[in-house]
Chains A and B, each alone.
Chain A
Amino acid sequence: MTGAAWLLRRLVASVAIIFAVVTFVFILIHLAPGKPCGQVGGGEYVDRAACDRLVQQFGLDKSIPEQYWRYLVALAHGNLGYSFSLHRPVQDAIADTIPFTLQLAGAALLLDFVLGLGLGIYQAVRVNRLPDVVIGNVTLFIYSLPTFWLALLLLLIFGEKLRWFPVGGPNDLILCPVVDSLYCVADRLWHLVLPAATLGLVGAAGTARFQRAAMLEVATQDFVRTARAKGLPERRVVLRHELRNALLTFITRFGLAFPFLLTGAVLIETIYAWPGMGRLAFDAILSRDYPLVTATALIASVVVVAGNLLADILLGVADPRLRVRADTDLVLTA
Chain B
Amino acid sequence: MTLGTWLALFVALVLAAEAVRALRRRGLRSERWRRFFRQRTTSWGLGILTFLVLAALAAPAIAPFDPNRQLDILHLTNRPPSWTFLLGTDLLSRDVWSRVVYGARVSLGIGALGALMAVSLGTLVGAVAGYYQRWIDTILMRGVDVGLALPRIFILLMAVALWDGLPFPALVITIGLTSWFGTSRLVRAEVLSLRQRDFVAAARALGADDGRVIFRHVLPNAAAPIIVSAALGVGNVLLLEASLSFLGIGIKPPGASWGNMIADGAPSIYTAPWSTLFPGLAISLVVMSLNAVADGVRDALDPREDAA
Contact = CB atoms under 8 A, between A and B. Distances in A.
A32 B235 contact: no
Interface stretch (B15-23, B75-83, B262-270): B262-270
A80 to B, nearest CB: 16
B291 A146 contact: no
A292 to B, nearest CB: 11
Contacts of A301: 149-151
A32 B158 contact: yes
A261 B243 CA distance: 15
B155 interface: yes
A32 B162 CA distance: 6
A23 to B, nearest CB: 9
A224 to B, nearest CB: 16
Contacts of B287: 144-146
Contacts of B291: 140, 143-144
B243 A267 contact: yes
Given A28-B158, A285-B158, A149 B283 contact: yes
Contacts of A270: 247
Interface size class of B (residues with CB under 8 A): 35 or more
A330 B288 contact: no
Contacts of A191: none
B180 interface: no
A285 B247 CA distance: 12
Interface string A230-271: 000000000000000000000000000001001100110010
Nearest to A266: B153
Interface in B269-308: 269-270, 273, 276-277, 280, 283-285, 287-288, 290-292
B154 A304 contact: no
B216 interface: no
Given A141-B284, A267-B247, A286 B161 contact: yes
A285 B162 contact: yes
B189 A149 contact: no
Interface size class of A (residues with CB under 8 A): 35 or more
B217 to A, nearest CB: 22
A300 B246 contact: no
Contacts of A334: 185, 189
A90 B214 CA distance: 49
B230 interface: no
Contact of A285 (B152, B161, B269): B161
A282 B146 contact: no
B150 A156 contact: no
Given A24-B150, A297-B151, A301-B149, A29 B158 contact: yes
B66 interface: no
What is the predominant secondary structure among interface residues of chain B facing chain A? Answer: helix
B136 interface: no
A17 B270 CA distance: 45
B283 A296 contact: no
B304 to A, nearest CB: 9
Given A140-B41, A267-B247, A149 B162 contact: no
B163 interface: yes
Interface in B88-124: none
B288 A156 contact: no
Contacts of B152: 263
A143 B153 CA distance: 19
Contacts of B277: 153
Interface in B43-80: none
Nearest to A20: B146
A306 B266 CA distance: 36
Contact of A144 (B153, B162, B235, B270): B235
A70 to B, nearest CB: 21
A263 B153 contact: yes
B31 interface: no
Contacts of B150: 21, 24-25, 297, 301
B159 interface: yes
Nearest to B258: A146
Contact of B246 (A17, A148, A305): A148
Given A140-B292, A148-B243, A153-B280, A160 B158 contact: no
B284 A305 contact: no
A17 B158 contact: no
Nearest to B151: A300
B284 A145 contact: yes
Contacts of B226: none
Contacts of A311: none
Interface in B136-185: 142, 145-146, 148-155, 157-159, 161-164, 185
Given A267-B243, A333-B185, 9 more contacts: A17-B146, A33-B162, A141-B284, A145-B280, A146-B242, A285-B157, A285-B158, A301-B151, A305-B149
10 contacts: A24-B150, A25-B150, A34-B164, A145-B280, A146-B284, A152-B276, A156-B270, A267-B243, A286-B161, A297-B151
Interface of B: 41, 142, 145-146, 148-155, 157-159, 161-164, 185, 189, 235, 239, 242-243, 246-247, 262, 266, 269-270, 273, 276-277, 280, 283-285, 287-288, 290-292
Which 6 interchain pairs have the tightest Cβ spacing?
A32-B162, A149-B280, A300-B151, A144-B288, A144-B287, A20-B146
